[in-house]
């Protein structure tokens, strides 16, 4: 068979096959993950400053851990096995995507996502270099990672020593689902069984918005009798309608086994236009008694879409809200409130998505289950004693990311006080706090500052009650047993104390 002719940079639809030209389309077949490169089976790799864990779909470095989609990990392993070599797009199609037809833009987007995960820049690459008209080259040195030596620890006769010896069960910084997912029963019930077909999940950074969407995907995919077909649409980096279509094509690739099981050929859905493709998918599912459950991650990117193509955003609102056969869940920070403002021509985009569903701290019981890893089977359950569990939970204000980050350090250090001091200085956590506070308005920031300084009189001022409730829902503030208000997390409080 003749090779594919890729579309021109303007994304015109020209794909050629043996026997002549065919209408442009994306052949939606999943990658065969069982045929991964040998590196994926041989343990971890050192890639520059990153440690690559193919079996976990995760890359990590001191102070950071990033969960990758399986396709991106396969792409990274493929490039790593050919470090220093120019790898053509044809080689990527044959070795990674393993499909007959694929658009050039799908490969470009995958490379862009991988660069973002590595903290790389296309214009000044340290990891992945684009070779014009030829392909890509991995620049960083690749080595097989040596098994980590067990760290020296003082002998302990208590439960903490036993906990240190167990495999590390916590996943701070990456999304989880299935038996790794804890709590959120009320949010899951509202998404799956509530009356609304347009929902907005609002929360701070790293509070678990992506994990919630992935858990919804997992639950509905495992129970087709619910009548939903889940589709996760990641909007990271989307700026225009063409990129919306490309993201939809990527989502269809991920959902190909589910769609095929429902009797839908994924390749028949993409049309070159996002709205046509979405309508076609919705009608195909409706004919089979299924409802499209569109799970939209990184929905803040809609703000950029409004700046560049406001007419597209208005059309998107109609497609997501005023049609039968679709339930849409947006996951975003408070920044999305900007889309509640009237645009002068139609109702605000968020009309119908509000009031939002808040994703705040875990309940006490959920936090304890997470720290004790109550769901997985024996072998990875940390033997944290009750005192340590309560110490971790109290310090973190039940925030899931902080819980796992601190618990992981407790397992490494064998000492809660030492682990807490280490996390206080963690630059990644400090960046998260800076982002969270940047999304508050001036009055809310003043209230947080006063409470951090011990001035609780501000909490009793007129108008403060509503702001306090909002920040309680977000997990930034908490109610004390005596009815007073305090900063929810020890680490947030310490960070506020360290600011000028």
| Closest residue by Cα to residue 201 from 67, 296, 338 | 296
Q: Which of 9-23, 187-201, 207-221, 349-363 is predicted with the least confidence, judged by mean pLDDT?
A: 9-23
- For the chain, the average pLDDT equals 81
* 75 pLDDT higher than 80: yes
* 15 pLDDT higher than 50: no
List % helix, strand, coil for the chain (3-state, nearest 5): 45, 15, 40
Tokens of 169: 């069960």
* 329 pLDDT higher than 60: yes
Q: Which of 98-112, 185-199, 221-235, 297-311 is predicted with the least confidence, judged by mean pLDDT?
A: 98-112
Label residue 12 by pLDDT band (50, 70, 90). very low
* 39 pLDDT higher than 70: no
Is residue 47 a contact partner of residue 142, using CB atoms and an 8 Å limit? yes
Between residues 358 and 457, which one has the greater pLDDT? Answer: 358
**pLDDT of res. 28:** 31
**pLDDT of res. 161:** 40
**75 vs 136: CA distance, rounded Å:** 11
My answer on whether omega of the bond before 355 falls inside 30° of 0, hence cis, is: yes
Q: Which of 114-128, 150-164, 283-297 is predicted with the least confidence, judged by mean pLDDT?
A: 150-164
**pLDDT of res. 103:** 62
Q: Which of 51-65, 211-225, 270-284 is predicted with the least confidence, judged by mean pLDDT?
A: 51-65
Query: What is 275-337 written as a DSSP string?
Result: HHHHHHHHHHHHHTT-EEEEEEESTTHHHHHHHH-HHHHHHHHHHHHS-TTEEEEEEE-GGGG
Mean pLDDT of 311-333: 90
* 40 pLDDT higher than 90: no
* 199 pLDDT higher than 70: yes
Q: Which of 139-143, 192-196, 247-251 is predicted with the least confidence, judged by mean pLDDT?
A: 247-251
**pLDDT of res. 110:** 84
**pLDDT of res. 453:** 87
The per-residue pLDDT for range 261-308, each reduced to its tens digit, is 999 988 788 778 899 999 999 999 999 999 999 999 989 999 989 988
**pLDDT of res. 343:** 65
* 400 pLDDT higher than 90: yes
Which domains, from first to last, does the chain contain? 26-144 (1.10.10.10), 184-358 (3.40.50.300), 364-498 (no CATH)
* 133 pLDDT higher than 60: yes
The per-residue pLDDT for range 371-391, each reduced to its tens digit, is 998 886 555 678 789 999 999
**313 vs 445: CA distance, rounded Å:** 31
**pLDDT of res. 146:** 65
Mean pLDDT of 66-71: 86
Using DSSP's 3-state secondary structure scheme, residue 123 falls into coil
């Amino acid at each position: 068979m003749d090779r594919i002719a890729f579309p021109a940079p303007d994304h015109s639809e020209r794909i050629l096959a043996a026997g002549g030209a065919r209408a442009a389309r994306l052949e939606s077949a999943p990658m065969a993950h069982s045929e991964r490169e040998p590196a994926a089976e041989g343990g971890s790799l050192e890639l520059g400053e990153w440690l690559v864990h193919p079996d976990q779909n995760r890359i990590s470095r001191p102070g950071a851990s990033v969960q990758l989609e399986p396709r991106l990990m396969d792409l990274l392993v493929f490039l790593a096995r050919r470090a220093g070599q120019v790898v053509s797009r044809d080689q990527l199609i044959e070795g990674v995507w393993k499909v007959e037809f694929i658009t050039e833009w799908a490969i470009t987007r995958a490379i862009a996502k991988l660069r973002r995960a590595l903290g790389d820049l296309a214009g000044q690459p340290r990891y992945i270099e684009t070779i014009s008209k030829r392909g890509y080259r991995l620049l960083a040195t690749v080595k097989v990672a040596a098994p980590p030596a067990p760290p020296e620890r003082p002998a302990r006769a208590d439960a903490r020593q036993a906990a240190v010896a167990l495999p590390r069960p916590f996943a701070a910084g990456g999304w989880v689902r299935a038996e790794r997912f804890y709590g959120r029963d009320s949010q899951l019930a509202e998404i799956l069984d509530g009356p609304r077909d347009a929902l907005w999940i609002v929360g701070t950074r790293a509070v678990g918005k992506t994990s919630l969407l992935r858990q919804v995907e997992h639950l509905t995919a495992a129970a087709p009798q619910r009548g939903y077909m889940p589709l996760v649409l990641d909007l990271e980096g989307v700026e225009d309608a063409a990129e919306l279509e490309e993201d939809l094509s990527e989502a269809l690739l991920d959902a190909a086994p589910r769609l095929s099981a429902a009797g839908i050929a994924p390749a028949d859905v993409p049309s070159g236009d996002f709205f046509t493709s979405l309508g076609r998918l919705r009608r195909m599912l409706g004919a089979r008694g299924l409802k499209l459950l569109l799970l939209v991650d990184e929905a803040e990117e809609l703000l950029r879409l409004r700046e560049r193509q406001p007419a597209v955003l208005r059309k998107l609102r109609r497609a997501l809200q005023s049609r039968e056969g679709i339930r849409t869940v947006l996951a975003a920070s408070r920044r999305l409130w900007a889309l509640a403002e009237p645009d002068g021509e139609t109702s605000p985009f968020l009309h119908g998505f509000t009031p939002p569903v808040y994703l705040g701290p875990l309940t006490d019981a959920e936090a304890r289950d997470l720290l004790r890893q109550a769901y997985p089977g024996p072998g990875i359950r940390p033997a944290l004693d009750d005192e340590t569990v309560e110490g971790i939970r109290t310090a973190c204000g039940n925030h899931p990311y902080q819980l796992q980050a601190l618990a992981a350090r407790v397992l490494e250090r064998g000492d809660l006080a030492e682990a807490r001091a280490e996390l206080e200085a963690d630059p990644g956590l400090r960046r998260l706090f800076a982002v969270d506070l940047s999304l508050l308005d001036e009055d809310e920031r003043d209230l947080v500052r006063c409470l951090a300084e011990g001035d609780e009189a501000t909490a009793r001022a007129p108008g403060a009650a509503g702001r306090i409730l909002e920040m309680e829902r977000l997990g930034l503030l908490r109610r004390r047993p005596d009815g007073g208000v305090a900063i929810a997390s020890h680490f947030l409080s310490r960070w506020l104390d360290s600011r000028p």
